[in-house]
Structure 1
Amino acid sequence: MLAYGYRKFGGPAVFETIDQPALKPTANQVVIATLAVNLNDEDRIERLGANVSTPLPMIPGHDVVGRVVQVGAAVTDLPVGTLVAAHTEHAYAEQVCLDADSTVTVPDNLSPTQAVSLITPGITAYKAVRYFADVQPDQTVIVKGAAGGVGSLVVQLSKRVGAKVIAIASQKHADRLTALGVDQFVAYDHQDPAHVLADCGDVIINVALNGVDGKADLAMAKFDATIASVAGSLPATSKSIRFRSIHATNAISDQAALQMLFKLLSIGQLQTNIGYHLPFSLAGFIEGHELLDQPHNGRIVIEK
């Protein structure tokens, strides 16, 4: 069984083909034949060796869609041939072993590529809106990083709740975000959002890289607002603010989030932006990580 990984940390060229033994599921597991993998910034960070305790050799990858080819003895509801998705580990491989409880069945009208593009950004966005920010109808929600994979889903999910949504991104993304139904767009490369939107937001959701510029978040927030950010903290302030740091949580399970996200995607109430379709090969994974290392527009999907 072929997989794609690395024996040392570094740039995209560290990837190589790694032969793995055949997978055998335990009683509560299934083995899938991989059809699509979604690349995430977490994959890039791991490859660079940010966590020196990462075991080597490493088969990376967290977002996978495939068809069930083997079923453990205790699994009764996932017959062979079922198309499933999961947020997991070691997904850059021809076959992946999954806990049956972690899998979500993909609706018939979604392709593997559509489904896989939604996994990590969708789970993050869903939990940001529904749990960390707890967005309510008629609130004014300001989304920083609105053009990114997570941010554009935060925009759509907040609109679906019934909030007024203000998107912050660069001017080149204005048309796409307007098409997603934002109530106001502010181009940070043309205007200062902290000035234009001073004291406007009931909720600030900051999913820009590293939760940049907490001072601006505070400036845009109303008194007693909620700020949910991928940053770990906020600057000191005299405002009464509820701060929620967005992080991995099981308060809403990944499976529950994915089930709802797939439903919305399948009925046309959610859109993802797939920018790159690459072959499921060593060259495809190397090219995908070269794209991860630079500014890019849209999800990077490796597909068969």
Structure 2
Amino acid sequence: MLAYGYRKFGGPAVFETLTQPTLTPTANQIVVDTLAVNLNDEDRIERLGTNADVPLPMIPGHDVVGRVSAVGSAVTDVALDTIVAAHTEHTYAEQVCLNADRAVPVPDGLTPTQAVSVITPGITAYKAVRYFADVQANQTVIVKGAAGGVGTMAVQLAQRMGAHVIAVASQQHADEMAALGVQQFVAYDHHNPAHVLADQGDVVINVALNGVDGKADLAMAKFDATIASVATRLPATSKSIRFRSIHETNAISDQAALQMLFKLLATDQLITQIGYQLPFTLDGFIQGHTLLDEPHDGRIVIEK
């Protein structure tokens, strides 16, 4: 089979075609023939060599939708030819092997491209809203980084929880936020959200790049608010803040999160924003990572 990866760290041009043996599942595994892959910022960070633990050569990728082509001897609940999605590893390949219990069936009403586009951003947002922030009905929830992949999901999920959602993003995303039904929008490039939203948030969810500007999060939060952020810490404060750093957790399983996300997506209760659909070729992956390195709108999906 063909896979796409790199033998050295660097820019998108490090990608090459890597010929791999056909995959054979162990007793508890399945093999899927890849239909679509979602590109994430984590893939870009790995490619740049920021994480010294990434082994070389590397076949990257974490999000996949594919058709089950082989099942292990102990797998009884996954049928051949079922289309499934998973958050796993080494997905930039024509085949992906994974533990059967990581796979989630894709509803008939969803295309592989739609389904794969919500895997990482949707799982992250779902856990941020439901577990880390513990959003409740009638709370005022401020989402910073609201126009990003995770942010747009967090906005919609918090709204479904019955929260009053305030979105913070750049002015160019004002119409997009309005289309999501956001009740209040603050453009950080026109106004200072820390001043406009001072002491208003019962919950502040910061999914902007690296959880930037914790001081603004504190300024926007009420005295006893919850702040859930992709940052690892907050500046010192006199407020009685419950701070939760958003990270990988099994408190809610990826599979449970995906099942709910697919249900909402299939019933038009959740919108996914796909910006680019590229071919499942070496050029497609290079182009996709070139886009990852630049400001871009919408998910980048590689599809067959």
Q: Could you tell me the TM-score, scaled by structure 2's length?
A: 0.99
Question: Shift in Å at residue 22 of structure 1?
Answer: 1.0
Q: Deviations over 1:31-70 (max 9, x none)?
A: 0000000000000000001112211110000000000000
Equivalent residue, structure 2, for 1:208 = 208
Equivalent positions of 1:29-108 (< 5 A) are 29-108=29-108
Provide the secondary structure at the position in 1 that maps to 2:223. Answer: strand
Equivalent residue number for residue 301 of structure 1: 301
C-alpha distance in structure 2 between counterparts of 1:303 and 1:54, whole Å:
25
Q: How many residues align?
A: 304
TM-superposition CA deviations, 1:126-181 (whole Å, max 9, x none): 00000000000000000000000000000000000000000000111011111111
> Residue 8 of structure 1 aligns to which amino acid in structure 2?
K
Detail structure 1 runs of 4+ shifted over 3 Å in the superposition. Answer: none
CA distance in structure 2 between the aligned counterparts of 1:109 and 1:77, rounded to whole angstroms: 21
Instruction: Tell me the distance in 1 between the aligned counterparts of 2:53 and 2:150.
Output: 28
Matched, 1:21 2:34: no
Q: Is residue 254 of structure 2 the alignment partner of residue 276 of structure 1?
A: no
**Which residue in the other structure is 2:243 paired with?**
243
Matches within 5 A, 1:81-230: 81-230=81-230
> 1:54 and 1:187 mapped to 2: Cα distance?
37
Q: Deviations over 1:262-285 (max 9, x none)?
A: 000000000010000000000000
**Aligned CA-pair RMSD:** 0.5
Q: Structure 2: which 5+ residue stretches go unaligned?
A: none
Deviation at 1:21, TM superposition (A): 0.8
Deviation at 1:122, TM superposition (A): 0.2
Amino acid at match of 1:76: T
SS of 1:66's equivalent?
strand
Query: 1:182-203 CA distances to partner (integer Å, 9 max, x unpaired)?
Result: 1100011111100000000000
After superposition, the C-alpha distances for 1:191-233 in whole angstroms (9 at most, x for unaligned) are 1100000000000000000000000000000010000000000
Q: Secondary structure at the match of 2:68?
A: strand
Which stretches in structure 1 are left out of the alignment for 5+ residues? none
Report the alpha carbon displacement of residue 288 of structure 1 after superposing the two structures with TM.
0.3
Q: Share of identical aligned residues, percent?
A: 80
Give secondary structure in 1 for the equivalent of 2:297: coil
The offset of 1:302, in angstroms, is 0.1
SS in structure 1 at match of 2:66: strand
Structure 2 Cα separation of the partners of residues 84 and 26 of structure 1:
18
- Alpha-carbon distance in 2 for matches of 1:99, 1:52: 26
